[in-house]
Amino acid sequence: MSVAEAQAAELSLERPSGLWRDAFDRFRRNPAALVGVGLLLVLIIAAVFAAQLAPHEPNQQVGPLSTNPAGPGGGFTLGLDEQGRDVLSRLLFGARLSLLVGVVSVAIGLSIGLVFGAVAGYIGGWVDTAIMRVMDLLLSVPSLLMAIGLVTLLGRGMVQIMFAVGVTTVPIFARLLRGSILGQREADYVLAARSVGVPGRRLLLGHIIPNSIAPVIVQATLTMATAIIEVAALSFLGLGPGDPSLPEWGKMMADNANRLESAAHLVLLPGFAIVISTMGLNLIGDGLREAIDPKLRS
Amino acid sequence: MALLSVEDLEVRFFTRRATIHAVNGISFDLDAGETLGVVGESGCGKSVSSLAMLGILPKTGRITRGEVRFGDRDLVKLKDADLREIRGRDIGMVFQDPMTSLNPVLKVGDQVTEVLRKHLDMDKDGARREAVAVLDRVGIPHASERVYDYPHQFSGGMRQRVMIAMAIACRPKILIADEPTTALDVTIQAQILDLLKGLVKEEGMGLILITHDLGVVAGICERTHVMYAGRFVETAPTNELFDRPRHPYTLGLLRSVPRLDASQKEKLIPIPGAPPDLSILREGCSFAPRCPYATDESRERTPMLEGIDGPMHRVACWNPVPDAEVATVASSSLEASGS
Amino acid sequence: MLKYIVRRLILTVPILLGLSILVFLFVRALPGGPAIALLGERATQESVEQIEEELGLDRPLPVQYLSYLRNILSGDLGSSVSTRRPIVDELKQRFPATFELAAMAMLFAVAAGIPLGYVAAKRYQGVLDNVSLVASLIGISFPVFFLALLMKYVFAVKLGWLPTVGRIDVTRSLEHPTGFYLLDAIIAGDGEAFVDVLEHLIMPAIALGTIPLAIVARITRAAVLDVLGEDYVRTAKAKGLDPSVVDRRHVLRNAMLPVVTVIGLQTGLLLTGAVLTETVFSFPGLGSWILNAIRFRDYAVIQGGILFFAGMFIVVNLLVDISYAFLNPRIRYR
């Protein structure tokens, strides 16, 4: 902002009314963010009420086996797949998997990352150096490659996959929190708290971490989108959940990738399901970022 | 004829939320070799006026009325291409913060030469030699080597010298300095002001010095305009302004500045309240809500600048500070300096 | 500058070492180990031991690692377990394919992303700005394999404009002295072959390049917006410089700093994106090679391939850091 703009803004400043309230107000007034909330709600409702909404069991054969299954419209809203299963039902149950995978793997990555980041940033010295070098090393392996490696190593259960994807996000969160702590360790309010004798641990838990939490939330939202994509990518490569009956979106696409001519809906519909989820999360993440720090409009 | 003549300049910012009345009709003349001070709190419109004169307002800002006469041309009406010929060549500008006002990825020499090459049609070598000469002139040691350095390799004071070098490189007729010393250490401030003073004297430039710091105007400006809420509220020869401030706001400013020569008993008297919200344009004097002398008339009719104590001293006030009170201020400062 | 590059080079040595340890341990930790992978689940204890001795797997881990390291340094990455071909030969054949794909993708991303972001910032909150925001949102929300499939569906299946498989028409004969087919076609002076290769490349490259495009556009927009508000841009205007000079010398030069960093990061990610894109388009590059190796437990290929992949990632980052230093004097002179 230029001096003149700053002055213009200064002139029209409204009364301050609390950081979080302001952020919430800005978020509420951001149409893109609201669209994101809408998309995420679709995903959540589909996941939570899959059993109620789905016309059929996800693995129940309700039509004929066919290399040229029926498309959307007709008797089944979104058509059938090659094994005569109802696509809509599979997509709805797939939402469950994707949401679960997104939340759990980010939770794993976040908690490990935050511990490493907090320890590195707060203790500093050689501990910091050691942790951050390991994080650099992890970052030097592209995340999907690392996830592929971990899955090869650990096996292809849902838990292992979520762990593998979670681990790839550890360095992001560790770096974020460490950076934030380093930035705030010298901040005036922390120096002030320290000068009146607030003990170190309380300083970290009561002052520094709460003030670092906003960017972490934003990052978590955006990372959840990548986690969902990454798991779908693993499935697409044939390294997804070992159980072949699971209606995982990426797997649904992989199973039918060579049927683009005869049954494109089997590839495109799960694809759009993934896009709805990731777009929702990305819009919310961006909206949160803008709401929390209006300077960072991008 | 005056070198630069601003007539009833009005600037507004049109933002989505509101219209900001940043400058509301200011007029002044600047003569060659004259140094003019514009004093006011931040947000009073003093920087905005200078940006407006040069046609480099931010996107939301527009000149809505008035003229800026330079020679036989009105800068407000000029096309941007013509205005660019004047910016940097005839009118140079120095900004407040030398830390952020220089491009961090360009060598200092290149930042000086680019203005020379644009306006004076110099070739590369000529511009380089001239840049070294200008940097030398503004007191940068080893200028011929330092042209190859980047801004971050200079101290704050040295960077401000670079800024000044860029502004005077084409020997402009007018130099506008917007808070040129605010971001600097006190000792450096004095050096920079001395430099500006010297340049005005040698080059016969007209200097407009914009500042919030009364101490700065005192040392260097012949005339001073006091600006409040987008208007000039008082204008006078600087000495007279300090000795006999007639606008309550000017008086308030003077009283709220700590003085080295003040006696222990003398207290600083802050001006109560805050500057008005410029998104609302009200009738009446904009200082009225904070003014101890305000009357109903002040609140209803906007005062114009009018001569008081002779034509050189003008004030926009329905109830100028009475002589008696002015005298106490003046005498107390006399007393203090005498003791 | 030279000092900076040397220091930066030295810094990558421990990372490369760490990486080689990681990959080494990874392969050793695979369930069943290399011998089982080689012989199959039903191998007898005897044959397993024999193979392990042959491969030196019975020696202590540190000894194994050192000999492994010595081999890498002498340029020997071993041979594929399934095809018996030397890994290095296979790399020589596969790398140009992936490189061509990645380079085209990045070219597309940068050539379109920077102007898009720049225009969006200059027309802040205008129509073009909103268009670019939506485009970049789509770019970051689409999984690369879905985008690839979608493009394949539209341009190959529905419109029939472009070929869907491989790097070149199988019936075409073209000498491959370099392995870079575009280059090979130029060397052979075969215009038709060049177009053919390009047609095979264009869809995978655009699919692969769309995400980086979106991100480059976003960062460029944000960076330009940031820089436009900087004091030194106002200074440049006050000097009376022409708008094109202000933009080029003052705005873009500064705005490119974050963009370069992002381009580097994206180039790294492109390598993984290539695994997926190559799968969709049956493109015979590094990605599909490693993937097959993982499916068939070809540990030698996994080991060599991942190391090479990660090594490229590190080299790219190194190049980015160096070009960043070129652009940013504050780093150079530290």
- Name the residue ranges covered by the structural domains of chain C: 2-73, 88-144+209-327
Tell me which H or E stretch contains B106: none
Number of neighbours of residue C294 by Cβ within 10 angstroms: 23
Mapped onto helix, strand or coil, the DSSP state of residue B306 is strand
Strand partners, B232: B227
C231 touches chain A (CB under 8 A): yes
> Is B246's pLDDT higher than 50?
yes
Residue with the bigger pLDDT between B159 and A143: it is: B159
DSSP A80: B
Q: Is residue B149 part of a domain?
A: no
C1 touches chain B (CB under 8 A): no
C143 touches chain A (CB under 8 A): yes
Which of B87-101, B288-302, C192-206 tops mean pLDDT?
Answer: B87-101
Quick one: average pLDDT of C55-70? Answer: 80
Q: Which residue in this structure is represented by tokens 């995903």?
A: A43
> Is C196's pLDDT higher than 70?
yes
pLDDT band with cut points at 50, 70 and 90 for residue C148: confident
> Is A2's pLDDT higher than 50?
no
Give chain A positions within 8 Å (CB) of B277.
Answer: 11-12
At residue B173, the pLDDT reads 92
Farthest-apart Cα atoms in chain C, separation: 85
pLDDT band with cut points at 50, 70 and 90 for residue B94: very high
pLDDT tens for C16-29 read: 888 888 888 877 77
At residue A113, the pLDDT reads 92
Mean pLDDT of chain C, nearest integer? 82
Which of B54, B105, B118 minimises the CB distance to C254?
B105
A153 touches chain B (CB under 8 A): no
Inter-axis angle of helices C253-280 and C144-151, nearest 10? 70
CB pairs under 8 A between A and C: 125
| Percent of chain C predicted with pLDDT > 90 | 9
Give chain C positions within 8 Å (CB) of B106.
Answer: 249-250, 253
pLDDT band with cut points at 50, 70 and 90 for residue B329: low
Domain spanning A45-51+79-296: which CATH class is it, in words?
mainly alpha
DSSP C252: I
Instruction: Tell me the CATH number at B45.
Output: 3.40.50.300
Quick one: average pLDDT of B2-12? Answer: 91
Backbone dihedral angles phi then psi of residue B320, each to the nearest 5 degrees: -55, 150
Quick one: average pLDDT of C127-151? Answer: 86
The ipTM is 0.85
Indicate yes or no: CB of B118 within 8 angstroms of CB of C241: yes
Indicate yes or no: CB of C239 within 8 angstroms of CB of B87: yes
Indicate yes or no: CB of B102 within 8 angstroms of CB of C241: no
Q: In angstroms, how far is the first alpha carbon of chain C from the final one?
A: 10
Mean pLDDT of chain B, nearest integer? 86
* Region of residue A54 (left: phi > 0; alpha: psi -120 to 50; beta: else): beta
Quick one: average pLDDT of A220-225? Answer: 90
Indicate yes or no: CB of C314 within 8 angstroms of CB of A140: yes
* Region of residue A67 (left: phi > 0; alpha: psi -120 to 50; beta: else): alpha
Least confident interval from A110-124, B60-74, B256-270, C49-63: B256-270
> Is C32's pLDDT higher than 70?
no
pLDDT band with cut points at 50, 70 and 90 for residue A296: very low
Which of A155, A253, A282 minimises the CB distance to C140?
A282
Q: Is residue B263 part of a domain?
A: yes
Q: Cα angle vertex B251, ends B250, B257, to 5°?
A: 90
Indicate yes or no: CB of A12 within 8 angstroms of CB of B277: yes
pLDDT tens for A16-29 read: 446 677 778 888 88
Residue C219 Cα, gap to closest chain B Cα (Å):
19
> Is B93's pLDDT higher than 50?
yes
Nearest to B245 by CA among B190, B176, B295, B293: B293
Is residue C272 within 8 A of residue A147, CB to CB? The reply is no
A140 touches chain C (CB under 8 A): yes
pLDDT tens for B163-180 read: 999 998 999 999 999 988
Residue with the bigger pLDDT between A277 and B17: it is: A277
* Domain around B19: 1-90+172-339
Least confident interval from A32-41, A231-240, B193-202, C324-333: C324-333
Residue with the bigger pLDDT between B312 and A194: it is: B312
pLDDT tens for C225-241 read: 889 888 899 999 999 89
Domain count, chain B: 1
> Is B333's pLDDT higher than 50?
no
Chains in contact with chain C (at least 3 beta-carbon pairs closer than 8 A): A, B
Is residue B94 within 8 A of residue B177, CB to CB? The reply is yes
Q: Which residue in this structure is represented by tokens 């899959």?
A: A50
Tell me which H or E stretch contains C154: none
Indicate yes or no: CB of A8 within 8 angstroms of CB of B20: yes
Tell me the C-alpha distance between A54 and B184, whole Å: 70
Q: Which of residues 10-69 of A touch B (CB under 8 A)?
A: 10-12
CATH architecture of C88-144+209-327: Orthogonal Bundle (1.10)
* C14-37 per-residue burial string, b: 16 or more CB within 10 A, e: under 16: ebbebbbebbbebbeebeebbbbb
pLDDT tens for C102-119 read: 889 999 999 999 999 998
Which of A180-194, A284-298, B17-31 tops mean pLDDT?
Answer: B17-31
At residue B10, the pLDDT reads 92
Q: Is residue B4 part of a domain?
A: yes
pLDDT tens for C276-287 read: 888 888 888 888
